[in-house]
Structures are given as structure tokens and as C-alpha cells.
Structure 1
């Protein structure tokens, strides 16, 4: 990453993220810029004013002090220079022929104030003499810096006998006044920034309260379970005044929530109709399917000779009626689970249940290696034993039906080690794995990995859908991880009772046959 990109990333991270922080930061930046501009303008104006007044003092002083340095006998009988009416620190120098002949500074001691000698000469370097000699003789004041003195404002004027008289006044008082003014302004502006920031934070917080209420409404709506079931979407933004920006946002949010509520209501009505249809159709189909199967079995038991083609047709009718019966039973179970019927709430020994299911799977699929990995102590959960047995049976039947012979299938139960006491049950195999891109879609209804939807395995495409529905009704979850050489279905079940949303079958409902499921459904 380049230096510019790094600096830009650091700047983005340093910027405030919330709208309130940005508004307050923007207010402080604008106020600081304003204060800085005012401070620079006032300080510059004051400095210019004081320098102009200092220049006027130079004009008033004329070249008397510089002239007195050379013509002492003409002005003072004692040979001293005339310092009366001269400000302390006044600099004077006389130049003749481009060379400095005399120079001095009024030091303001008691003798000077009584008219005594003030011939306080200044040691000038060659560079200082060159600087004084280079001053234009036009009477305009300029800032000059000499090595032996502080910065001075100096002006050069022609003398009476062709010489040049240079007079200067120190800039130190002006600089001190300007610095004092800048310090006072800095203190005042800092206090103003703190006060304005505090008041601005309160004002912005009060001004953003309507927006915060709209955000709180959106947050509460986002936490509602909208995936399925009847949804009571009664939340609305309290601020919907179209005359304000926040009010327009609130009104738009309320309209959107109204549309969402209508859509969810229509969806729920459609789901209810579909569930009712599936339950009614499954219930009504059970009797005719059983009748067809019974007649086919009766015809096959006919003692007389039956033509081979008729016998084959009867066998196909019996096989397909059994398959249809399994589909009807699975659909009826899913319809009842979707309808929200409560499950039985008993203590279920998962270890014993796993042993029984593994024994059944070993008898049904002797060509595979079946392994059990169980803890030493029994693991129990609260739930419906019949439905949990159906979950384990479907997972093992899924592995048996859709892996080649010689595959190792492992059923594992981990002791409850998670903080919430969740029990983990895993059914894994070293088969070919799921088709790429299928993922969690294997738990959808009538989903298969074989695009031709082959019936050779006897799959209904509902086995894993039943697994997810039953596990969800128990308050747990199920997930799958698959790659070539390993497929693992991981079921998480809470140990305690789960009653957030009753779902499943009423206790004592008649058992239904567990259908073998394709690994993709």
C-alpha cells in the first residue's frame, strides 16, 4: 500500500462515524476557522497600527539625535550628544561617504534624563555597516535587523552637509503588544470553542432526537421474527411531520412498514392455505393409498395362475403405493409441524436412542461400516422421543441410501460442554459428498442432487426437511458440511425444555413412518 493510501485510510478511521459527532466536529471546525480568521485579522491590524504609529514617531524625531552624535560642540558645551525629547532605545547613526562614522543608542539612565552624556555606542559588524549603508535615503521607515540589536524600524534622511542621518526605534514594544494580544485571543477563543462545543453537543442531541426515534423504530422492526408465521408489525415512527426532513423519513418508513405488514399478512394467509391444503390432501390421500396397496397385495395373493405381465404390474402398483404412502405421511408430518402443534416433553436418552438407530441401520445396510462414538455417561434432552428417533433414523438412512458400499458412517454424540448445555449430535460419512453449490438447500423440501430426480433410491426428498423441522421445533439447529470424502450433519439440541413457539405434534399423536432421505433432501 502506498503512503498516500495509508494516510487516506488513517484519515478515514480518524473521522467521526456518527452523524451527531460529525455535526459537532463540523461546528467546531467552522468555529475554529472563524476564530482563527478573526484572530489573524485583528492581530495583523493591531501590528500595522502600532508600526504606523512607530513610523510617525520616527518622523517626529527627525535626525536630531543622529546629527548630535557628530556635531557635539555645536549642540552641547560638554561635548555630549543631545538625548532630550528622545525615547529610550532610540538608535542614531551618521554616514559620510557611505561609511558609518558614529552610532549610538539612548539608554535612558538618570544622567541622560538630566541632560548628561548618552554616547552609548554600538559595536557594529561589517555586515551591520553594510546594511546601514544600503538604506535608501528617502525618509521611509523600514525594518532592519542588526546583530547587536533587536529588530528596529529605521529611516534615513540627508543631513545638512551631505551626510546621511539614520534614526531608529525598537520594534520590541510593538511585538510584545501583538504577542500579548494573540495570547489573550487564543485563551478567549479556546474558552469559546469549549463553550460552543458543549452547547452545540446539547443542541445537536436535542435536534437529532426525532431521527433517533426513527432509528429506534427501525431497530425494533429489524429484531422482529419476520421469516414465517403471523407477524404483528405494529411499530411505527412517531415523527412523521412532512414539513421536516426527519418527518419525511419517518413518514416514508411508516408507509414502507405498512406495505411490509400487508405483504406479510398476505404471505401468511397463503402459507396457511397451503398448509391446510397439504394437511387435508395428505389426510385424504392416506385412505385411498392404503386401499390401492391393499388391493394390490390381495391380487398378488390370488391362488390361481396370474400372467407374468399382470403380476409385474401389480408389484409395481404395490411398490409405488408404498412410496406414495411414505410421501403422504411425511407431508402430513410437515404440515402438522408447520401448524405449530406442541411436541411431547419427556426426558429422552439420546445415547440409547443412537444405539437403537445404529442397530437398525446396520441391519438395513450391512454393506457399510457403522461406528458409534458415545460418551461414557448417558446424555439426555427434553423432547419428543419419537420425533428425535425419526431425526437420527433419517440421517442414518440418508447416509445408507446415498453412499456406496464400504462407506464408513459415524454417529457421534458429544457431552454437553458448551456454556448453555447444548448437546451436539453428528452423523458423518466418508462418501462422495454433496453436489457442489447445494449447501443448506439440502434441508428444503423435495430437493435432490440428482437433476434427473431418479427414483431408484426410494428418496422422497423430504427426509432432511423433516430433520430440520423437528430439530427447530425442539429449539435446536442443524447444519451440513460436505466435501469429497466427508459429509457431516451436525445437530444441536438444548438439554432443557424449549417453549418459545410451540411447534410440532401433540403428545400421543400417531407415529409416522420415517422416510429415507436423499442427501440433498
Structure 2
């Protein structure tokens, strides 16, 4: 009987940062939202830059008009009025926030008007900074060209322009940049809020659209998952799972995947049917051959016993040959019986379901093992109350007899073998543990397969071993809806049998 191999699910490969990779749905949503955010950022930056440039051009035009009005004031000053910053700021049509600095050759006056129209003076550092800027503009011939000056404090940044009146008076006028920056900042905030709201809305819509678009792929995945959970390694398998026809349209990417999966499932279904037919033929042959061999083997054994007991004086070599024929016929009969039992279990024949007292059964099995292997130490650990399991008594007796025979045959004399019985929930648990050399690691995967043999310390290759003992153990335990496992390392080997309680 082949052991059913359950392949573990494919591990999730972490990324370099240790996190699991993103799903396709998440990548699509993040890509859409990221592109929208990038486009919104570019549009916002370009819009704010264009608006700032246009507003700055308008401010420069206003500044030039302010400078022209200031020149006219210097050209026609009232009698008794000397050119000064206050004279410029109090001139007609001067808007609030206007800044002025006047140098008449000996005196420097400077100030600006606040929102209420009151003239506010500048600090010495601010005046010095403006004088320096004015001197630089005159020396570089940059008069009548606007440039920016940041005076700091409550004054802030100004757009200023230096001029020379016909009277030779140097002056500098400026307008605040706060109106430009305020408008640009307001536009940037509006664009940011609108973009953020749009990004959030697009994120929800993109999630819904992507989820809807990937629904066919989800159905294909669910079909593949259901197929992966089917026991395909043994028995007759009805592989009816297929991707729905609506998800196999070759004109779409998901449809091509679904169509390819269906074709693969068709091939797998044919292969499974062929394998099952071949296994059925082999099982039927084994069952028929085992059944047919029982009669001739019984005849051979009977005739050999009859000859040996006839009382005739036979040569010693003839007696030896007849004895060997009898012993080998007994061994062959056991092998045939084991093969016939496995064939019947493979066909799914139900065993008897009666309460079996595992306590008394283990006492009998250990007593038989002690009689057969007096060079081993046998221990029995039983609970105070009897433990009843639902099953076939003779078959369960064979299971534990095979396990004890395995421990006796494949360990050295003096090995301690302990048989323990306990209950765990609705299960009876029997463990057979020895302190022998252990099972080689390369044999553990095939330990319960038929005709499994080994030639290392535990498997000493005795002639009486058929390689079917543990295969019968697993087949009978599984027929009882139980489980048998083994844990082995040098110095300790433990077989664990779980059976449902009666």
C-alpha cells in the first residue's frame, strides 16, 4: 500500500525587507493611484508656477506705474516741500503697502504704508539693506528694472525698482509680494485638497473596478485550489472540477489561463483513469493469484508433513530437504495471506466494527512477543480502566503483533521495548517504543511501503522478513479510520497508533 504523500503548500517567499510580496490587485490599485497623484502633482506645480509668474508680471506693471507717478511728484513738487519718503507715500493713487526710499544727496528717508494707510518707518538695518540695493542698481545700470528684496520681520518680501528723477534725486519704490504668494498658496491648497479628494475617490473606485475585473481570475484560482485539495495519489478519483465556460474565452488573458487549466485537468483526468485501471488490474491479479496459490501451498505443506511423519527411514539429506520445503511453504503461505489481505483492503472492504478491549489484546500480544524474543526486555504500561476501540479484533491483533515483531527482529538482543496504552480525547493511543539503533533517515519516507527493506543496523536482513509487516499495519489502521506514525532517532524509535474509541 502506497503512503499518501501530502505535499506542503508552497511557501510565501518574502521580499528583501522580509515582507510578503504584493498581490496583483494591490499593485494595480497602487499604480493607478500613484499615476493620478503624480499627474495631480505636476498639474498643481505647473498651475501654481504659471499663476505666480502672471501675478508677478502684473505686480511689476503696477510697480512701474507707481514709479512713474513718483517721478511726476518729484518733477512738480509743491513749494516748500523737500523730496522724502513720506512725500512719495502720501502722493495720489498710492496703494496700501507701498514702500519708498528717497536719497536727495544728503538725507535718506524710508518707510511703507500699512493697511490703514499709516506710514511706518523702517529699521536701520532695513534702510541700510535698501540703500545697498539702490546703490548696486545704480552702479550696474539696473534702474527701471524690478527685482526682489526680502526685508524680513513684519515687512517681508517686496518687489522694488530704483529710479532717478530729473532733479537728480534717487529713490526706490516697492510693492509687497505677499499678495502674489498668498494667491499662489491659496491655489496650491485648493489643488492639493481637490487632488487628495480625487485620489481617495479614485482609490475606492479602482479597488472596486480591479476586484470586479479580477473576479474571473479568482474563479480560476478557486478551481485550481479545489483540485489541489483532492486526494489524487490513490483510489478512484472523479476529477469533475473545471473552470466555468464564461472564464475560458481565449480572447482574454484570464480566459486563456482558464482554457489552459481545463485542458490540463482533462489530461490529468485521463491519466488518473488510466492509472486507476492499471492499479485495478494489478490488484485483481494479486488477489486472484494469492487466492489460487493458497490451495497448492496447502497441498505442498500437507504432503511434506505427511512424508515427514510417515515413519519411513529416509536419508538425512532427504529429511532436511523435506523440512526446508515445509518451512518455505509455511513462509510462502504467510506471504500469500498478507498479499490477499492487502488486496482486500485496497478494494475498500469494510472490516468488522465491534468493541475491542485493547488492554487484554495488548497483554496477549506482549506475552506472545516475550515468548518469541526472550533476549529482549518487554515492558507494558496500561491504564487502570479498560480501553475499548471500535474495530476488528484479529486485524488489530495482527497490527500490534507486526509492530512488536518488527522491534524484535530489527534490534539487537537486550533492547528494551515498551508498549503503552492511553486515551486522548476520542482516540485510543498505543505506542511501541524501543531503545534500538533507530531507523536510517533515507528509509523513513518508504517505511510503510510494501516490500520495504533495509540493510543497516536496524534492518539486519533476516530471511523471514517479507517487507509487508508495516504495510499491513498502515493499511489496517487506516481501514479503522486511524493513523500510524513513527518518530525515530539513534537510541529511540517510537511507533504511534491512534484508533477511534468504541
TM-score past 0.5 threshold = yes
Give structure 2 stretches of 5+ with no counterpart.
1-13
Q: Is the 8 A contact 2:83 2:104 kept in 1?
A: no
Deviations 1:177-212 (A, max 9, x none): 111111111221122112212222221121111111
1:280 deviation in Å?
Answer: 0.6
Judged with a 3 Å threshold, the aligned counterparts in structure 2 of structure 1 residues 59 and 400 are, in CA distance, closer, same or farther, namely same
Deviation at 1:454, TM superposition (A): 7.1
For 1:440-487, what per-residue CA distance to the aligned partner results, in whole angstroms no more than 9, with x for missing partners? 311110011127997634111000000000111111111111122111
CA–CA distance in structure 1, aligned partners of residues 332 and 397 of structure 2: 22
Instruction: Give the corresponding residue for 1:103.
Output: 110
Deviation track 1:401-447 (CA, whole Å, cap 9, x = no partner) reads: 1112111100011222x4xx222211010111112321131111001
Matches within 5 A, 1:461-480: 461-480=467-486
Shift in alpha-carbon separation, 1:119–1:210, aligned structure 2, 3 A: closer
Of the structure 1 ranges 249-258 and 120-129, higher mean CA displacement relative to structure 2 is found in: 120-129
Could you tell me how far apart the structure 2 residues matched to 1:100 and 1:256 are? 98
Question: Where does residue 30 of structure 1 map in the other structure?
Answer: 35
Q: Is the 8 A contact 2:434 2:492 kept in 1?
A: yes
Distance 1:128 1:377, change over 3 A: farther
C-alpha RMSD of the superposition: 2.6
Q: Name the residue aligned to 2:165.
A: 159
Q: Within 5 A, what are the aligned runs for 1:200-239?
A: 200-238=206-244, 239=247
Contact conserved, 1:434 with 1:449, CA < 8 A, in 2?
no
Aligned in 2, Cα 1:153/1:127: closer, same or farther, shift over 3 Å?
closer
Closer, same or farther: CA 86–368 of 1 in aligned 2, 3 Å: same
Which TM-score applies when normalising by structure 1?
A: 0.85
Select which of 306, 310, 314 maps to 2:318: 310
**Counterpart for residue 325 of structure 1:** 333
Q: Deviations over 1:328-382 (max 9, x none)?
A: 1110000000010011111111112111111111111111111011112222221
Relative distance call for 1:404 and 1:62 in structure 2 (3 A) is same
The equivalent of 2:454 in structure 1 is 449
TM-score norm. by structure 2 comes to 0.89
* Matching of residue 433 in structure 1 with residue 438 in structure 2: yes
Q: Does 1:248 align with 2:256?
A: yes
Residue equivalent to 1:377: 385
- Partner residue, 2:58: 53
Q: Distance in 2 between matches of 1:390 and 1:209?
A: 54
Preserved CA contact (<8 Å) 2:101 2:130: no
Q: Against the structure 1 CA distance between its residues 102 and 396, is the aligned structure 2 distance closer, same or farther, given a 3 Å change threshold?
A: same
| 8 A contact 1:415–1:423 mirrored in 2 | yes
Asked if structure 1 preserves the Cα contact closer than 8 Å seen for 2:440 and 2:456, the reply is: no
SS at match of 1:472: helix
Contact 1:357 1:393 in 2 (8 A): yes
